[in-house]
Structure 1
């Protein structure tokens, strides 16, 4: 991933040196297991542990000759250890090391993303309660529907992120597996005890496999990351809509000295939210590649490898960046309750049409009859720019069924929002 969208912790995690460290961790754990089984002499194991040193530059040099990164890695370790280095990679195939090491890297990456997500959720929770009673218009199809509160909207985002958190925990479980079972997964040259020992030492669960761990696991992780990216985009897209000049209920932060346009000095564009929407497309695109990786030839081919060298680091690096950026956007966003109130009044009461229709049904009208009466008045109010409530009060059919007080009840904002606390109790009940 380009430096622009990479935070330092994730950059270090996916560095070539850290990958080699994970491979070394696996190799040394395997040597320890063989020693416990009496295959590697204690003296040789001691020498391995004392002398094993990584030299990433030397690995690169050897790879030019071998054209095989794991073979180059093993050769470099042997060089650093001496005669006892012959035990390195004993009974293993490359992907015993690569796949187990990759699972360690993914576990760390997902743990970072989980921490990021929890920070975003904390901000969402605080903002939801801050604006719990701040009324605004709810929109369906982009058109004014019925009143909600801004806190209600934020609470629903929090609820969605709770599900994303559960899915991330599931992804951690799915990918926290190890495989030390040889060239085709049959343990022909390395007994299951080695896999069990190594997995336990590394905090992984042994999994049946061919030469590689089945790629449905990696695809599941990518699907979960794609869902999270889409939830981030959902929030960012809403902020973009709410920042439109004609709406202007919310704005993303705009710092001193920031410029919105090279040509138009007045511009304050939702560039952070737009950036998040664009990055979400990338993450979802990587999911397609992950799904393509599931089907490999027989017990394994190498077609998945080049794909994973790109999509797994990139997707996790992007999610780390996106969550950090979303947190800052939410913390610093400007909210305009007065504009929300102004927009609530824009349709002059039309947003209460359903309440009026239901009141007429309670008085004995068929639903179709009530709908027709309310729609007729609503269309007239819209076309003439009149106040809907005042128009309804003059309607003879309505007047014969409803008192003025009953009509007023239909237009009560408080009545429409009386169950917001119920929704909050459901969403935040575990706090």
Structure 2
């Protein structure tokens, strides 16, 4: 690739080879050839004698387009101003016995639209295994830390305790929904099939001399040869661009899940409670050598925003298609559809890297809990005093005064929370001094977080992953620079 021309970072820097290959020129044009080849097979099987064995044999030997043929098609397109006809011409030169029957009865969208639908399906087949493995690795992380108490945050203000594992289940649950949505979208993709110029199959009806059954059989045969379950029953010249909305919406939703998870990890990195993997030779800042920037999660957030915006391209395009078709969908779809899948691919590859090496700092977590827990434990302390015969109202006032004094030390003096020391030095609370350690045990403040986490992972997550067990692996994903 030339260093003098722009290349999208999605393919040149970040995306996997398998996803980039799906949307490559070679795969696009080779897929067109496979579509022409299968159309010819189907037409011959239904009695079109003009399609010969020699034509099909020649086509079968040249389904993968060469670099020379791609260049020849570019030159031809510059003359005829039509990409499909340029490739029909070049394919015909390569397969002279088939030159007269390539694209027989078809419109350009036979190859362009059917190819796009194949790419959507194949692209999901790259994404889904990656998401499965992200979920699997995050589930293991959740189980490992299901019992570790951690300060909860609501409004990014200290709240009741949860556990590190329980917090991970919040990320996991959203990713499970993404898996469900992506699998549904993938399985719902059909082919446009062979529908002719405005979707009426008029050209094919003419080819088969008015035999409607053979026209329907042709559509079914091509769908079968290409490995799909069905073709959309009604199309114009194109398949409905609403299909693109259905295909891109789960990716947009995935972007929201990724952004939320990555943002949480970035905030936790600032709190020094959890970090993404940091390589030994990695440099965080050119000036501040001590820094450990969460660059992986920052990349996830950055690209998630882009992914979310691409859904709007599909929405707007579908809404302005006139009658049987317009061509104002073409240019934008060449950009938004590949970019959506390339971006989703990058996000999942990055999350695979992150979830393979999340680092937790229990001592930092413990210190933060100790700073906040005394305030949270005041109700437990009051209840313990009441059990010893104290008045709740009197106890509430005693602990209110001590709490405000401790709060002033923290906020005004920058000191540690000394509420417990104040309680231990106040004779009023002497009846429960021996209980304070138990009353302040963090594990008693996490509710059912450990049990919820264990059940969620071992039941909900396990059931969701069961159909994908063969896809689960422990491969290390090297992060792109």
Deviates more, 1:386-395 or 1:105-114: 386-395
Partner of 1:121: 135
Please say if 1:226 is aligned against 2:233: no
Q: Which has the higher contact order (CA 8 A, sep 6+)?
A: 2
Range moving further from structure 2, 412-421 or 298-307: 412-421
Counterpart-to-counterpart distance in 2, 1:67 and 1:356: 82
TM-superposed deviation, 1:333: 2.5
CA distance in 1, matches of 2:386, 2:302: 47
Distance 1:162 1:376, change over 3 A: farther
Gaps of 5+ in 1: 363-369
Q: What is the DSSP-based 3-state SS (H/G/I as helix, E as strand, rest coil) of the residue aligned with 1:147?
A: strand
Between stretches 348-357 and 105-114, larger displacement belongs to 348-357
1:419 is aligned to 448
Structure 1 Cα separation of the partners of residues 404 and 87 of structure 2 = 75
2:318 partner SS: coil
Quickly say closer, same or farther: Cα 1:149–1:303, change in 2 above 3 A.
same
Q: How far apart in 2 are the matches of 1:145 and 1:67?
A: 64
Cα pair distance change 1:361/1:274, threshold 3 Å: farther
SS at the partner of 1:429? helix
CA distance in structure 1 between the partners assigned to 2:254 and 2:123 by the alignment = 14
| Counterpart for residue 75 of structure 1 | 89
Contact 1:7–1:321 (CA under 8 A) maintained in structure 2: yes
Give the Cα–Cα distance (whole angstroms) in 2 for the partners of residues 90 and 392 of structure 1.
90
CA apart distance, 1:326: 1.4
State the distance in 1 between where 2:397 and 2:456 align. 36
Aligned to 1:58: 72
Aligned: 1:35 with 2:44: yes
Distance 1:29 1:359 in 2: 79
1:312 counterpart residue number: 337
String of CA shifts for 1:62-107, please: whole Å, max 9, x gaps.
1111111111111222222225321111111111211111111111
Q: CA deviation at 1:254?
A: 2.0
Mapped contact 1:48–1:84 kept (Cα < 8 A): yes
Cα distance in 2, alignment partners of residues 32 and 229 from structure 1: 42
Aligned CA RMSD, in angstroms, stands at: 3.1
Change (3 A) 1:294 1:356: farther
Change (3 A) 1:359 1:278: farther
1:256 CA drift (Å): 2.3
Match status 1:428 vs 2:437 = no
Deviates more, 1:251-260 or 1:278-287: 251-260
Q: What is the CA–CA distance in structure 2 between the aligned matches of 1:411 and 1:322, rounded to whole Å?
A: 41
Match of 1:292 in 2: 316
Q: C-alpha displacement at 1:377, in angstroms?
A: 6.9
Q: What's the counterpart of residue 328 of structure 1?
A: 353
- Kept after mapping to 1: 8 A contact 2:377/2:440: yes
Matched residue, 1:47: 55
Q: Distance in 2 between matches of 1:300 and 1:79?
A: 31
Distance 1:304 1:359 in 2: 70
Flag the 1:379–1:309 CA change in 2: closer, same or farther, 3 A.
farther
| Deviations, residues 326-360 of structure 1 (Å, cap 9, x unaligned) | 11122223210111111111225223467679999
Segment drifting more, 406-415 vs 309-318: 406-415
Measure how far apart 1:155 and its partner are.
Answer: 2.3
Q: Which moved more, 1:415-424 or 1:341-350?
A: 415-424
- Relative to structure 1, is the Cα distance of residues 304 and 353 closer, same or farther in structure 2, using a 3 angstrom cutoff? farther
5 Å-filtered alignment, 1:177-216, equals 177-190=191-204, 191-204=215-228, 205-207=230-232, 208-216=234-242
Q: Which residue of 1 aligns with 2:31?
A: 22
**Is residue 357–residue 371 contact of structure 1 (8 Å, CA) maintained in 2?**
yes
| TM-superposed deviation, 1:174 | 2.7
Q: Do the aligned partners of residues 185 and 154 (structure 1) sit closer, same or farther apart at CA in structure 2, a change above 3 Å counting?
A: same
Q: Does the CA-based 8 Å contact 1:130-1:151 persist in structure 2?
A: yes
Q: Within the alignment, does 1:266 sit opposite 2:269 as a pair?
A: no
Is 1:237 the counterpart of 2:263? The answer is yes
Given the alignment of the two structures, is residue 12 of structure 1 paired with residue 6 of structure 2, yes or no?
no
Distance change >3 Å, CA 358–CA 199, structure 1 → 2: farther
Distance in 2 of aligned mates of 1:187 and 1:355:
76
Question: How far 1:232 sits from its partner (Å)?
Answer: 1.4
How far is the alpha carbon of 1:411 from its aligned partner? 4.5
Deviation at 1:49, TM superposition (A): 3.0
SS class of match (1:210): coil
Query: 2:158 and 2:285 mapped to 1: Cα distance?
Result: 31
Distance 2:379 2:245 in 1: 45
**How many residues were matched structurally?**
421
Bigger mean CA deviation after superposition, 125-134 or 411-420? 411-420
Task: Decide whether aligned partners of structure 1 residues 264 and 426 sit closer, same or farther in structure 2, where only a CA change above 3 A counts.
Answer: closer
Local SS of the residue matching 1:303: coil
Partner SS for 2:372: coil
Asked if 1:249 corresponds to 2:273, the answer is yes
Partner of 2:391: none
Please give the secondary structure, in 2, of the residue aligned with 1:177.
coil
CA separation in 2, counterparts of 1:231 and 1:336? 24
Alpha-carbon separation, structure 2, partners of 1:300 and 1:136: 56
